[in-house]
Amino acid sequence: MFRTTGFSCLLAVVTLYPAYATAAGTASRGPSTPAADEFELGSAETGVIELNPSRATVTTDYGFDSISSVRVDADRGIIGGYAETELSRAVTIPLTTFSTTVTGSLSTPLRFESLDGEPISVAAELTMRGSFSALAGDPGFSLSASILAFVGAPVDGSVGVYFSELVLAGTASGIDTGTIGTALYRDGLNFTTVDYAGATQDVLSVDPSSFSAVVRLAFDLLPGENNGLQVSLGGFVIPEALSAPSPDGTEFAPSHGVLDFSHTAELSLYVPPGVSVSGESFVANIVKVSAVPEPRPYTMLLAGLAILPVALRSRRTRRWASA
């Protein structure tokens, strides 16, 4: 099951930040073989990463057909993907091996310079658009977008990592949302996460046939220091679930679902006039010189969003409505 908590992401970036310079773009998709538990991986410092661009079908050993495709443009700052799952018969198997998953990410070191040497206000925005359709039954999906920033020399001396994430999940009958907005404080050798108002998520449409949202992260930093930025987009599709997960497996009904976010994630980086930015090749194409907008009021929602309860709740609602 594709899901990453904000806290684990924050801790991972502290460890993995030096690796940012090795690959501007990464992508993965699965299942990539009939075994249904293997992933195809790709990475590149420049150019385009394409995994299964022809959208070839994998007929898995678990009895479902899967199509997963992902494209990451490491020169233009764009991520897109496609996930499709079709199950023709009822089965009971482990939930963790029974989804079509697609992920893509862009990462870069960042260095900001200004003539006056004053702290710089920066804002990163990731626009996500897509659609989900149920061709048979009541399958479920999840799509998440996140921005993570590592600040080498924090203005206040203590905050070094900021994180913003939005999750859309549900079925063709409706979408739920969940958000995370956190910052990582360091007190000596200890790290503590706190709610962060500079992380905002604006959901523009929750129509499954045409949803859209903007994930935003605003923060301050000092010029001339080493910083890092990572954005990720990932989604999955599962057949209609008839039971909750258990050691004996999950019962799934025949169903067919398509999650299409082929042209979805576009990254923008806003900086004030008079500031120059250097990083990977795509940075030159995403920087927009503008007064950084003020963060909007932020309300923390439940971040532990899981696709299975959403799908089960939707199924129960349809049963009650027809009773």
* pLDDT, tens digit (0-9, with 9 covering 90-100), for 202-214: 999 999 999 999 9
How would you label 199-230 residue by residue, b for 16+ Cβ within 10 Å and e otherwise? Answer: bbbebeeeebeebbbbbbbbbebbbeeebbbb
Q: What's the domain range around 192?
A: 6-322
- Per-residue pLDDT for 6 more than 50? no
Kindly report, residue by residue over 236-267, the tens digit of the pLDDT.
999 998 988 777 788 999 999 999 998 777 89
Mean pLDDT of 92-117: 86
Q: Is residue 279 in some structural domain?
A: yes
**What's the confidence (pLDDT) of residue 244?**
82
Is the pLDDT assigned to residue 307 strictly greater than 50? no
In a domain, 229, yes or no: yes
- Tell which residue, 232, 215, 142, 226, has the closest CA to residue 181: 215
Asked whether residue 146 is assigned to any structural domain, the reply reads yes
pLDDT tens for each residue of 214-244? 999 999 988 988 999 999 999 999 999 898 8
Is 268 or 245 the better-scoring residue by pLDDT? 268
How many distinct structural domains can be found in the chain? 1
Specify the pTM. 0.83
| Residue 126 scores a pLDDT above 80 | yes
* Residue 262, in any domain of the structure: yes
- Split at pLDDT 50, 70, 90, the class of 300 is very low
In a domain, 19, yes or no: yes
**Looking at the domain assignment, is residue 1 inside a domain?**
no
Average pLDDT of the chain is 82
Confidence class for position 20, pLDDT limits 50, 70, 90: very low
Residue 176 in domain: yes
pLDDT at residue 306, rounded to an integer: 38
